[in-house]
Amino acid sequence: MPTYLLAIDQGTTSSRAIVFTSRGEIFAVAQQEFRQHFPRDGWVEHDPMEIWESSLQVCRNAVRQAGIEARDIAGIGITNQRETTVIWDRATGKPIHPAVVWQDRRTAATCTQLRSKGHENLVVERSGLLIDPYFSATKIAWILDEVEGARARAEAGELAFGTVDTWLLWQLTGGRSHLTDATNASRTALFNIHSQSWDDELLALFRVPRAILPEVKDSAADFGTLTDDILGAPIKVAGIAGDQQAALVGQACFERGMAKSTYGTGCFLMLNTGTEAVRSENRLLTTVAYRLNGQTNYAVEGSIFVAGAAMQWLRDGLKLIGHARESTALAEAVGVENAVYMVPAFTGLGAPHWDPDARGAILGLTRDTGIAEVVTAGLQSVCYQTKDLIRAIQNDGARLEELRVDGGMAVNDWVMQFLADILNVPVDRPRVTETTALGAAYLAGLQVGVFQGLEDIAAMWERERRFVPEMAPGLRESLYAGWEDAVERISHN
């Protein structure tokens, strides 16, 4: 039996493919960045064809680098940037508009209008989400209204909608599979997370025709087979999950109360609530953690829009550093008692503030503030935002004993120690920090029989390092109070 698993990890700024062994070990990696488009203030777009072509290229590169044949791959898992919206022509497979990215705020006025008319409670009850430009529903309606003739064509069944997983799957299978999984469906604001089906009232509210929607499957399922021209042999696509849910699986957070936080472009903290969909009273999201064998597991989630992207901005926008790794030495020189605060609300503030009109700021500048203080503030902002989420989770009655971390910034020891200190919770970093891709591989492996159950996956999780809180309570409170003051100054709520 083939023993390798291929994960496609299609992210916000790059596409990556990783070949894993049946022990969950990385065997080969290929990655390719692609262009970001910012046509107007608060607008973020990608070229769907560039997403596809970069994903195809990294798959071929990873398999070549591994020195294996397509027939050695037991199955493929897809994980993806969530909520990003693509609509294409079913006949040609060509997009009708650039992809509207999850960070995009162009539908903020529409969302405000829907909230003012009292619709938010229905949306929260059915979808577990708030009314916000972040989610796919208003993005779909905007494209259908903006592109001439698109709404009529959508209603006639000529167009297809998909989040990025669905778009890639369509391309990989030569247009044979128009499918998604329950985790991605749960991020559209059109999916009833309790009945596990597209919701007619939500479709009517957001003016989205049912005819363009994909069929929703479990996270480990038969999603179709690659056409031979992709990698040279037919391989089953057997697992799909949105990036944060895939990371939850990759971190083996299968027990109720277990939590992980992923530090990529944004930061996403997810806490497993088991088979109960817990409604947050503190503006966190209720979402599908994973659906296996027809059984749905839920999570509460806090979404921070800018984490690693803040460091990218310091590097590319302000040119304060040449590479993200330079930030560690600067932070060590400054120390944790930094009076400068960066609030990276470049595309508004996410949970628990949900303020789409907020914009970024650097506060506390003095004559002797330099590059080191600003860069350190960028690193600290990620930890302060995580603290906002943890506090909301605790106010909802959940207790957090430890936090499992992953993503690009998780390899930074200084940041992880400051995170443990500011949260006052132990922070565990796993041996494999590419947990998003790993989760997708695990889901595919479950479906094709490489793994027998979640117990097999849980047994493979290994801690590489634990960061234990060491900060004095008074300093922790003082630093966080400074952050709260900074957020207050830019808030529109």
Burial environment of residue 355 by CB neighbours within 10 A (0 to 12, 13 to 18, 19 or more)? middle
Could you tell me the mean pLDDT of each successive run of 10 residues in the chain, 493 residues long?
89 94 93 92 94 96 94 95 96 96 93 95 94 95 96 96 97 96 97 97 97 97 95 95 95 92 86 90 90 94 83 85 82 90 85 81 92 92 91 82 88 94 94 91 96 93 95 95 91 71
Domain 4-243, what architecture?
2-Layer Sandwich (3.30)
Whole-Å CA distances, 57 to 20, 25, 52, 86: 18, 22, 9, 20
Domain boundaries, the chain: 4-243
What distance in Å separates the CA atoms of residue 428 and residue 420, rounded to the nearest whole number? 9
CB 72 within 8 A of CB 2: yes
What distance in Å separates the CA atoms of residue 416 and residue 422, rounded to the nearest whole number? 10
pLDDT at 82: 94
> Going by C-beta distance under 8 Å and a sequence separation of 6 or more, which residues neighbour residue 10?
16, 51, 55, 78, 79, 80, 81, 164, 165, 168
Question: What are the backbone angles phi and psi of residue 417, rounded to the nearest 5°?
Answer: -70, -40
User: Does the predicted TM-score (pTM) go above 0.85?
Assistant: yes
What distance in Å separates the CA atoms of residue 407 and residue 342, rounded to the nearest whole number? 21
CB 32 within 8 A of CB 15: yes
What distance in Å separates the CA atoms of residue 218 and residue 342, rounded to the nearest whole number? 40
What distance in Å separates the CA atoms of residue 242 and residue 160, rounded to the nearest whole number? 19
The string over 265-295, giving b where at least 16 C-beta atoms fall within 10 Å of a residue's C-beta and e elsewhere, is bbbbbbbbbeeebbebebebbbbbbbbbeee
pLDDT at 1: 61
pLDDT at 420: 96
Q: Where are the alpha helices (DSSP H) in 251-307?
A: none
Closest CA to 236 of 417, 74, 109: 74
DSSP state of 408: G
pLDDT at 326: 82
CB 283 within 8 A of CB 123: no
- In the chain, the percentage of residues whose pLDDT exceeds 90 is 74
CB 19 within 8 A of CB 69: no
CB 237 within 8 A of CB 78: yes
pLDDT at 433: 82
